[in-house]
Amino acid sequence: MMNLNSVKAIVKKPLYKIYESRILKFLDRDRLPQHIGVILDGHRRYSRNEGLAEYRHAYEVGAAKFFEFLEWTHEFEIHAVTCWLLSKENLERPSVELEPLCDVLGDLVDRLPAAVADHDIELRFVGSLDQLPPELAAKAKHAAEVTGSGSRRLTIALGYGGRQEIVDATKDVISKLASEGLDTEAIVEKVDANMLARHMYNPDVPDPDLVIRTSGEARL
């Protein structure tokens, strides 16, 4: 006998296709965002709501949706996409949650070069990559190397923290100015928002026009 979730999936699939086609029909391609950010969140909540036995299943559903979203950005030639897949705080989760998440992320990273091939996309990874599990960090490095450069940008944030990005940018600025022989007072006088912006993880990409959080929650 089919369970309730299976019935829901069967019913939703054709309805979703109709919904998607209606959106595409009325979409103004001249007003598309140039940079879309996506925060993949809510996997544990999804797992509980769907009665899944393991968190890994929820992470796999999220990964599948990620690649579906990536196809949409290819179709509309979105110039820049940033996906926050793993926060720095996530790295402190219990191993029962973190290990399956990193396993799924490792598989996702392995698939990325093929997913962006022929779309003129440069793949970049940002975050505290040195704090990732070694295997995941190595996979991210390899994926970026084999993908090469492109006129479009896909940024994957792993071990990312917004505050940490500001800290790293500040350290870079101070180190640069100190190497020029400036004293503390001169450094303080010279540092401003524009200078910090040039030392962020993605200084050559404009701020996102649209940020989507998959958990259904709206928060900054």
String of b and e for 100-112 (b: at least 16 CB within 10 Å)? bbbbbbbebbeeb
pLDDT of residue 64 exceeding 70, the answer is: yes
pLDDT in tens, 18-53: 766 676 666 677 778 899 999 988 777 777 777 777
- Tokens standing for 48? 């509980």
Which one of the listed residues 5, 28, 41, 107 is annotated catalytic? 41
90 tagged catalytic: yes
> Quick one: what percent of the chain has pLDDT higher than 70?
85
Which one of the listed residues 28, 30, 90, 204 is annotated catalytic? 90
Place of tokens 């009665």: 51
- Tokens standing for 149? 């450069």
pLDDT in tens, 161-215: 999 999 999 999 999 999 999 999 999 999 999 999 999 999 999 999 999 888 6
Domains observed in the chain = 32-161+206-213 (3.40.1180.10)
41 tagged catalytic: yes
Mean local confidence (pLDDT), 56-84: 91
pLDDT of residue 220 exceeding 70, the answer is: no
How far is Cα 194 from Cα 44, in angstroms, rounded to an integer? 38
Query: H helices within the chain, ranges in order?
Result: 4-26, 43-50, 55-75, 95-116, 134-147, 162-179, 184-190, 193-197
Which strands form 80-87's sheet, in the order they lie side by side? 121-126, 152-160, 80-87, 35-39, 210-213
**Which of 16-30, 112-126, 145-159 comes out lowest in average pLDDT?**
16-30
